[in-house]
Amino acid sequence: HFMEKKINLNVKETEKNLRVDVFINKQENNISRTRIKNLILDKKLKLNDQIILDPSKKTTSGDVLELTIPIPKKASLKPYKYKLDIVYEDKDLIVINKPAGIVIHPGAGNFDNTIVNALINYDKNSLSNIGDELRPGIVHRIDKNTSGLIVIAKNNSTHENLSIQFSKHTITRIYQLLIWGKIRPSKGRLETFITRSSKNRQMMEVSQTKGKKAITNYITVETFENENIPTLSLLECKLETGRTHQIRVHMKFLGNNIVGDDKYKKKFKKIKNIDPLLEKNIVNLNRQFLHAKTIKFMHPRKKKKMIFDTILPQELEIILKMLRNTGK
């Protein structure tokens, strides 16, 4: 999918003692500094024929730099005819409500049927391009089988600004989820490290010592327990960090897996004492009961607070309705 473009730069006497990422950014101001930094960390910069990994390394007069930029063949991002549920749009950003079952951006095994491809079909000329080439506009993401709100950047200044809000954790994201059992205390704050699982690279796990810090605030909204159902709880989680699979991993860590999560699950024996119709809806749920319900952030240009909220999708709402009715 990739071709490469090489940029060669020579450092003049007047340009010495600059950080290499700053120097490149000055010469090539259409590539953002964040992007340059990521390329350097990705072993794409040679300084006098040696690969360097330090964006803060200083330039010396006479240095020769070669930066390799992977560029996708344009064909790698095909438009995908797919009806996006657009909650809000202006000239800087789009907020969409993603259903479960669709991935956000192209990657191994799926290059064409993603939200990014749908965005290209919707309006190919207005998506930021400072991230990875296969992720134009994508500032953050939610998993394939999670539904809910994501914000898309239409230009680079919006993208940079939103990324900073994410890294400072000033963006509020609230998820609703249904878990097996109930959590004691009924509300709390989980703070752990999360790292890639050594057993399965596709999965993440809680670690005591390594990985990235992950913080989830949870509150129990409703608990369902009676003789016709196993105990289940509806939770709201507010993310302080946004690690891969964070809520799913944290729930598994507590021993209260999310209903419908096929990756982070316990081996369940046959569910005892359960209303057959409810059981059918739970067993046939081909997604996790996890929905990104609310997102709040500061509009990068208008400098005003934006708040978006969605209702649960039909296939999740129906399960809650049944649970609420079984107790009566």
Active site residues: 143
On the 0-12 / 13-18 / 19+ scale of CB atoms within 10 A, 28 is: middle
Q: What is the DSSP letter of 186?
A: S
298 neighbors 311 (Cβ within 8 angstroms): no
Whole-number Å distance between alpha carbons of 93 and 189: 31
Please name the residues in contact with 292: beta carbons below 8 A apart, sequence gap of 6 or more.
98, 142, 146, 147, 148, 149, 150, 173, 174, 175, 310
Gap between the Cα atoms of 267 and 203, Å rounded: 17
Distances (CA, A) of 92 to 153, 265, 295: 6, 39, 16
Report which secondary-structure segment, H or E, holds 27. Answer: helix 20-27
Write phi, then psi, for 218 (nearest 5 degrees): -125, 155
- Cβ(249)–Cβ(264) under 8 Å? yes
Q: What is the CA radius of gyration of the chain?
A: 23
For residue 137, give the nearest of 292, 82, 122, 224 by alpha carbon. 122
* Cβ atoms of residues 280 and 246 within 8 Å: no
Three-state DSSP class for 129? coil
Q: Please choose, from the candidates 249, 255, 233, the residue with its C-alpha nearest in 3D space to the C-alpha of residue 182.
A: 233
